[in-house]
Structures are given as structure tokens and as C-alpha cells.
Amino acid sequence: MLLQAPPTLPQTAPKGVFITGTDTGIGKTLTSAILTKSWQGTYWKPFQTGLAEEAGDTPTIGHLTGLSADHILPPTYALQAPLSPAAASALEGVTLEPEHITLPQTTHSPLIVEGAGGLMVPLTDNMLMIDLIARLGLPVILVTRSGLGTLNHTLLSLEALYQRGIPVLGFITNGPESPENSQTLEKLGQCRALHHIPLLPGTPGPDDISQIAAQIPSWDSLW
């Protein structure tokens, strides 16, 4: 039996989108930078972990997009350990209250919200990332690898989203080009391919982001 019918997308452009992925390190931050640059939107990552090892995704987005500081919002929770928010907060004695998180007011639309890890990453003992997505009420853009393994991981992720009634704007593939996989995902996942991000040599920089951002469909054209 194929996936259940996806939830209907809103008729008019919502306040923003939630960027999630089929795995950790799948390219969510790269994708978020490209979309924020293309749509001149506002970036927000509610949960940031791993700050003991790196500066975090928020300053990275600022550097890659070159947008002014008012396009970049600070995390609601900033944690040190490179673990899930639930595990990192337990180590640091921080109480997370994701059920109280609301969408921030912004002057630059749309809002690009980036999750931490994949859909089933625990935020607390009784709340997963996918629960936060459902609560915030934004449609999802799913970031997935383009090559081997993507069919299983992407279809499982789409099914989990559909079962919770979360609309999906589309998916973005990342890596070596594989149009056959994208076509299969569109057909079986009942979900459109929004863009393909090619394999970039070296560490992506602002010029790479600008070039790819220029190829992204406009925000208003997607609704």
C-alpha cells in the first residue's frame, strides 16, 4: 500500500516554512541559507546544540547570505553538547519547554525555520521534533540526499509527516544529480521536487549561495 494522501497545502502563502531533513548533516543549513537568501526572508533555528564544538548555524546563515542582522533571529535554546536537544539539556541542567514556543514576529517574510536533526529527534522526554513542527503549523520543506538510500528515508519521513496532518511544500535533493530518484519520490511520495542542490567543491561560500538562490522559484509562485 502506498503512502496515504498528503494533507492539502494552504491556498495562500503562509507565514513561512519549516526546514527538516531525513537525517543529521543532510544539508538543512545549506538549504536554509539558499532559501533565506532567495526569498529575502528571516532565518530562525529554535534549538541549537553542539556549540562547544562550533559557532552554530545562526552565524553561518548570516555569513552565507550576507543579509542584515534583522534577517537572522537567535535560537530560543542554545546548548553546548553535540547531542539531541533532550540529551544536551539534561547534561546542562536546562529545562526545555517546546510546548511554549511560538512563531516570532518578523519584518522580513517568509520565516525560514530550521529544525535540529531529523523528524524523530527528541526535544524532551515526551516531545519530538515532528511534534514541534505540527504545533507551529508551518508547511515543511524536506531536505534529502539525492543518491542511494534516499527512497527509503524520504518516503518514511513523508509518511510520518502525512500521518500527523503536516502539509509538505516539497522536497529538495542534495548531492550528485539523480533525476530517477527525484521522479520516483514525486510519484510514490505524492510530493513535488522543488530544487536540486549540486555537490559543491569545498566549503560553500556566499557566492555559491547567491548563485543557487537565483535559481529558486519565487516564494509567491509556490502557492
pLDDT digits (tens, 9 = 90+) for 25-59: 899 999 999 999 999 999 999 999 999 999 999 99
- Residues 61-110: tens digit of each pLDDT: 999 999 999 999 999 999 999 999 999 999 999 999 999 999 999 989 99
CB of 114 within 8 A of CB of 32?
yes
Residue that is written with C-alpha cell 535540529 in the block: 116
Q: How far is CA 223 from the centre of its chain?
A: 18
Which residue is catalytic, options 15, 28, 37, 45?
A: 45
pLDDT at 60 over 90: yes
Q: How far is CA 163 from the centre of its chain?
A: 19
Beta bridge partners of 44: 113
Share of the chain above pLDDT 70, in %: 100
pLDDT at 11 over 90: no
Share of the chain above pLDDT 90, in %: 91
What number of other Cβ atoms are within 10 A of residue 34's Cβ?
27
Rounded to 5 degrees, what are φ and ψ at 151? Answer: -65, -50
Sheet holding 193-197: strands in order across?
42-44, 111-118, 16-21, 140-145, 168-174, 193-197
- Which pLDDT band, with edges at 50, 70 and 90, does 141 fall under? very high
Active site residue 15: no
